[in-house]
Amino acid sequence: MSPYEAILLTIITASTPLLLAAIGELVVERSGVLNLGIEGMMVMGAVCGFVAAHVTGSAWIGVIAAVLAGIATSLLFGLLTQTLITNQVATGLAITLLGLGLSGLIGSGFVGLPGVKLANVSIPWLSDLPFVGRLVFGQDPLVYISILLTVGVAYALKYTRVGLIIRAVGQNHDSAHALGYRVVAVRYACIAFGGATSGLAGAYLSLVYTPQWIENMTAGRGWIALALVVFSTWLPARLAMGAYLFGGVWILGLYAQAMGVGIPSQLLSSLPYVATILALVIISTNRRLSVINTPASLGQGFVPDR
Amino acid sequence: MKKLLTAAASIALVSALSISAVAADKLKVGFIYIGPPGDHGWTYQHDQGRKAIDARLGDQVDTVFVENVPEGPDAERTITRLARQGAGLIFTTSFGYMDPTLNVAAKFPNVKFEHATGYKRADNLSTYAARFYEGRYVIGQIAAQVSETGVAGYIGSFPIPEVVRGINAFLLGAQTINPDFKLKVVWVNSWFDPGREADAAKVLISQGADIITQHTDSTAAVQVAEEQGVKAFGQASDMAAFAPNALLTSIIDNWDDYYVERTQAVLDGTWESMDTFGGMDSNMVNMGPFINMPADVKAMAQATTAAITEGKLHPFAGPVYKQDGSVGVPEGETLGGFGLVGMDWYVQGVDDQL
């Protein structure tokens, strides 16, 4: 394996969980809901994915369990914020705390046990091609899923009726309601979608990235995903770019250190954040476009007036 | 994020304290952890020490712990709360708790404090640390014997003296076998982030390192080594289960005896503020089983371990040269005292800058 190939492979692994978690949150926020519980949903996905895979021996069952765990956690958020109209910020934070605590409890008997790694895709002949083989045709399945999801979300939001409804609900829930759309139901569906991808992101950590269960193994990635959504001005293409830029600068920083470039490691560690902010600020300078994409009802609860 | 962690810590604190609120006349011993006890590394071993107190002195002592406490001002609040809740002895188990512990100790003169790996003391504040560098020297020798590329990768957390000392000892050990041995250092600026530790391991391996060692708290790096077919060392606890083919040995922290001894001292009223820097001789640093290596390398590692334990060998015995070629430790002298505790320079041959 050439060094460049190794660099690119590591970058993809580092970026995929961010992209998975962020693409779901993008849909959630487009529907006008601010879910700060990504970290909690992710870590629930990570622990349930690990436990299911460890017990059954099948990584795919682990992935499914992770998705279900993410959805279940997100529906709790949905119940609180959509049906009981609690404050979305506070509820999201509570979901994160709950997820971190509950995952520790669920996983307490599974610390230090060997995990099951989700096998990489292997296509005869294609995966053996030099350089592009492993890079394009030999990734783990979740990498492809993350890319398909991003493309799918971008297409659905822009060109489909469902996307239009989601955006309408996020822009002005009163108007959407007046038009006869079921605002709360649409938001529930979006929240569940966000839970599913956050669960997948968690599964990526405990079944691919580092196949084991360690408490708090998300280590703040949910918050980075959340920031990426806002900085991408709610556009999937920019989101994917931001996630890969973040992962790329982070990994290149490690390479720079390993090669003995005399840059302080603290500076290198902060570079991914600086670079992502700079890049997204520069591409968001078109204010008109940014304002159009910002969901106007973001974070507001909706109570039908009748 | 920090606020959240604090909130999480406070919740953990409240629940931990409510469990132990029974039996008020027993001595309460508190622990502050930087990570979760489930990290299978640094915090795990401290928690083993806490359990040793429970096992040996359980009829006279109650133990409580607060996990995932961030270093800095938030730690001060958590330590204060433990002291206010009636803890008579508090162990704060990470370097970054140094100033918070010192501040709280000043406010609670009747509570005894023990801070791990720091150097600031008071009448009611002891410090303790282990000479992990002794183990690093041994694994450095093993690395140089086993490595085919002559390059090892070292994953660092933060460039503090304790970590720098470990890097230096590792390379000094390796240089006794192969004077040209190369060491690549990558800092992840975190004690605990399994994903980043794994990234760093992958990066180092792709740069030619066929030995991975780390001064971070999780098992992620040894797992990557296992996956990519290179060798690795366990840190803080025996990590053989995570890398049955890759692991050569582990440096194991053993706080059990120290914790029990200090708790007993408080019970007896003989506790005094002091500085403990225990090594292999006092059983604070143990080596795990030597596996996945030829018999002669194993014999060498055992001989080195024995020599250090008996005090015949000191990793920082002069002459030791600094990175720029100047003398770090003159011939005939052995580094000790603050020169050792506050080490802020690399030895010759480290491929990194502080």
Determine, yes or no, domain membership for A306: no
**Is residue A249 less than 8 Å (CB to CB) from chain B?**
no
CB B60 within 8 A of CB B256: no
- Give the residue-averaged pLDDT of A272-291: 78
- Secondary structure element (H or E) that encloses residue B92, with its range: strand B89-92
Q: Do A14 and B352 touch (CB under 8 A)?
A: no
Q: Do B194 and A219 touch (CB under 8 A)?
A: yes
Q: Could you give phi then psi for residue A32, rounded to 5 degrees?
A: 90, 15
Domains of chain B: 2-130 (3.40.50.2300), 132-253+285-351 (3.40.50.2300)
Which candidate in A20, A210, A250 is best for mutational testing of the B interface (most B CBs within 10 A)? A210
Name the H helices within chain A.
3-30, 38-56, 59-78, 88-107, 132-137, 141-159, 161-171, 173-178, 183-204, 221-231, 236-258, 265-283, 287-293
Comparing B114-123, B276-285, B342-351, the range with the smallest average pLDDT is B342-351
**Is residue B14 less than 8 Å (CB to CB) from chain A?**
no
Sign of the dihedral defined by the CA atoms of residues A287, A289, A295, A296, in that order: positive
Using CB atoms within 10 A of its CB, is residue A284 exposed (0-12), middle (13-18) or buried (19+)? middle
Report how far residue A45's alpha carbon sits from residue A202's, in angstroms, rounded to the nearest whole number.
Answer: 5
pLDDT in tens, B154-181: 999 988 888 999 999 999 999 999 999 9
Supply B236's token pair.
């803080």
Q: Could you give phi then psi for residue B94, rounded to 5 degrees?
A: -150, 150
pLDDT in tens, B306-341: 999 999 999 998 899 998 888 888 888 888 777 787
pLDDT in tens, B71-102: 878 899 999 999 999 999 999 999 899 999 99
Q: Could you give phi then psi for residue B263, rounded to 5 degrees?
A: -65, -40
Question: How many CB atoms lie under 10 A from the CB of residue B135?
Answer: 30
Give residue B340's pLDDT.
Answer: 82
Determine, yes or no, domain membership for A299: no
Q: How far is CA B170 from the centre of its chain?
A: 14
Determine, yes or no, domain membership for A67: yes
**Is residue A101 less than 8 Å (CB to CB) from chain B?**
yes
Q: Which residue of A has its CA nearest to B152?
A: A258
> Half-sphere exposure (CA, 13 Å, Cβ side) for B4?
23
Report how far residue A173's alpha carbon sits from residue A296's, in angstroms, rounded to the nearest whole number.
Answer: 9
Supply B38's token pair.
């489930």
**A274, pLDDT greater than 80:** yes
Pairing relationship of beta strands B27-32 and B61-66 according to DSSP bridges:
parallel
Question: Is residue B311 classed as helix, strand or coil in its secondary structure?
Answer: coil
Distance from CA of B231 to the nearest CA of A (A): 17
pLDDT in tens, A197-217: 999 999 999 999 988 888 888
Q: Do A100 and B220 touch (CB under 8 A)?
A: no
Following CA atoms B339, B340, B345, B349 in sequence, which dihedral angle do they give, to the nearest 10 degrees?
130
**B348, pLDDT greater than 50:** yes
Report how far residue B77's alpha carbon sits from residue B70's, in angstroms, rounded to the nearest whole number.
Answer: 11
Q: What percent of chain B has pLDDT over 90?
A: 64
Q: Which residues of A touch B194 (CB under 8 A)?
A: 205, 209-210, 212, 214, 217, 219
Q: Give ∠ CA B278-B280-B282 in degrees, rounded to 5.
A: 50
**Is residue A221 less than 8 Å (CB to CB) from chain B?**
yes
Following CA atoms B208, B211, B214, B218 in sequence, which dihedral angle do they give, to the nearest 10 degrees?
100
Comparing A283-287, B57-61, B253-257, B274-278, the range with the smallest average pLDDT is A283-287
Nearest to A227 by CA among A10, A33, A20, A26: A26
Using CB atoms within 10 A of its CB, is residue A45 exposed (0-12), middle (13-18) or buried (19+)? buried
Place of tokens 């480290």: B350
Cis amide leading into B73 (omega within 30) = no
Q: Which residue of B has its CA nearest to A18?
A: B195
Q: Which residues of B touch A93 (CB under 8 A)?
A: 4, 7
Give residue B24's pLDDT.
Answer: 52
Per the structure, the count of domains in chain A is 1
Q: Give ∠ CA B193-A231-A96 in degrees, rounded to 5.
A: 45
Distance from CA of B169 to the nearest CA of A (A): 19
Question: Is residue B285 classed as helix, strand or coil in its secondary structure?
Answer: strand
Report how far residue A254's alpha carbon sits from residue B83's, in angstroms, rounded to the nearest whole number.
Answer: 41
Which candidate in A2, A135, A214, A259 is best for mutational testing of the B interface (most B CBs within 10 A)? A214
Mean predicted lDDT score pLDDT of chain A: 90
Give residue B270's pLDDT.
Answer: 94
Following CA atoms A248, A249, A251, A254 in sequence, which dihedral angle do they give, to the nearest 10 degrees?
170
Determine, yes or no, domain membership for A305: no
What CATH number does the domain containing A208 carry? 1.10.3470
**Is residue B203 less than 8 Å (CB to CB) from chain A?**
yes
- Cβ density class B25-62: b for 16+ within 10 Å, e for less: ebbbbbbbbbbbbbbbbbbbbbbbbbebbeebbeeebb
CB A205 within 8 A of CB A42: yes
**Is residue A214 less than 8 Å (CB to CB) from chain B?**
yes
Report the residue count for chain A.
306
pLDDT band at residue B240 using 50, 70 and 90 as cut-offs: confident
Question: Is residue A249 classed as helix, strand or coil in its secondary structure?
Answer: helix
Supply B17's token pair.
């304290």
Give residue B354's pLDDT.
Answer: 74
Cα end-to-end span (Å), chain A: 64
Comparing A111-120, A246-255, B102-111, the range with the smallest average pLDDT is A111-120
Report how far residue B76's alpha carbon sits from residue A22's, in angstroms, rounded to the nearest whole number.
Answer: 34
**B224, pLDDT greater than 50:** yes
pLDDT band at residue A306 using 50, 70 and 90 as cut-offs: low
Question: How many CB atoms lie under 10 A from the CB of residue B290?
Answer: 21
B322-330: which pairs have CB atoms within 8 A and are 24 or more residues apart? B322/B346, B322/B347, B322/B348, B323/B347, B323/B348, B323/B349, B323/B350, B323/B353
Question: Is residue A158 classed as helix, strand or coil in its secondary structure?
Answer: helix
**B2, pLDDT greater than 60:** no
Distance from CA of A6 to the nearest CA of B (A): 6
**Is residue B15 less than 8 Å (CB to CB) from chain A?**
no
Q: Give ∠ CA A133-A139-A144 in degrees, rounded to 5.
A: 115
**Is residue B35 less than 8 Å (CB to CB) from chain A?**
yes
Q: Which residue has the higher pLDDT, B72 or B304?
A: B304
pLDDT in tens, A32-87: 999 999 999 999 999 999 999 999 999 999 999 999 999 999 999 999 999 999 99
Comparing A118-132, A252-266, B90-104, the range with the smallest average pLDDT is A118-132
Q: Do B8 and A101 touch (CB under 8 A)?
A: yes
Q: Which residue of B has its CA nearest to A92?
A: B4
Give residue B64's pLDDT.
Answer: 94
Determine, yes or no, domain membership for A65: yes
**Is residue A250 less than 8 Å (CB to CB) from chain B?**
yes
Q: Could you give phi then psi for residue B118, rounded to 5 degrees?
A: -100, -175
Q: Do B189 and A265 touch (CB under 8 A)?
A: yes
pLDDT in tens, B5-28: 455 555 544 444 444 444 457 899
Determine, yes or no, domain membership for A13: yes
By residue range, what is the domain housing residue A272?
3-293
Nearest to A228 by CA among A20, A13, A10: A20
Q: Do B242 and A112 touch (CB under 8 A)?
A: yes
pLDDT band at residue A1 using 50, 70 and 90 as cut-offs: low
Determine, yes or no, domain membership for A301: no
Q: Which residue of B has its CA nearest to A261?
A: B352
Q: Do A221 and B195 touch (CB under 8 A)?
A: yes
pLDDT in tens, A129-180: 777 777 778 889 999 999 999 999 999 999 999 999 999 999 999 999 999 9
Nearest to B88 by CA among B50, B65, B62, B54: B62
Report how far residue B250's alpha carbon sits from residue B266's, in angstroms, rounded to the nearest whole number.
Answer: 32
Q: What percent of chain B has pLDDT over 70?
A: 93
**Is residue B247 less than 8 Å (CB to CB) from chain A?**
no
Q: Which residue of A has its CA nearest to B220?
A: A210
Supply A164's token pair.
């239009």
Q: Which residues of B touch A250 (CB under 8 A)?
A: 196, 199
pLDDT in tens, A6-18: 889 899 999 999 9
**B32, pLDDT greater than 80:** yes
Q: What percent of chain A has pLDDT over 70?
A: 99
Q: Do A260 and B184 touch (CB under 8 A)?
A: yes
Determine, yes or no, domain membership for A281: yes
Place of tokens 């692991």: B247
Comparing A165-174, A273-282, B107-116, B125-134, the range with the smallest average pLDDT is A273-282
Distance from CA of B105 to the nearest CA of A (A): 30
Residues 6+ apart with CB under 8 A from A207: A49, A50, A53, A59, A62, A63, A66, A115, A116, A117, A118
Give residue B15's pLDDT.
Answer: 47
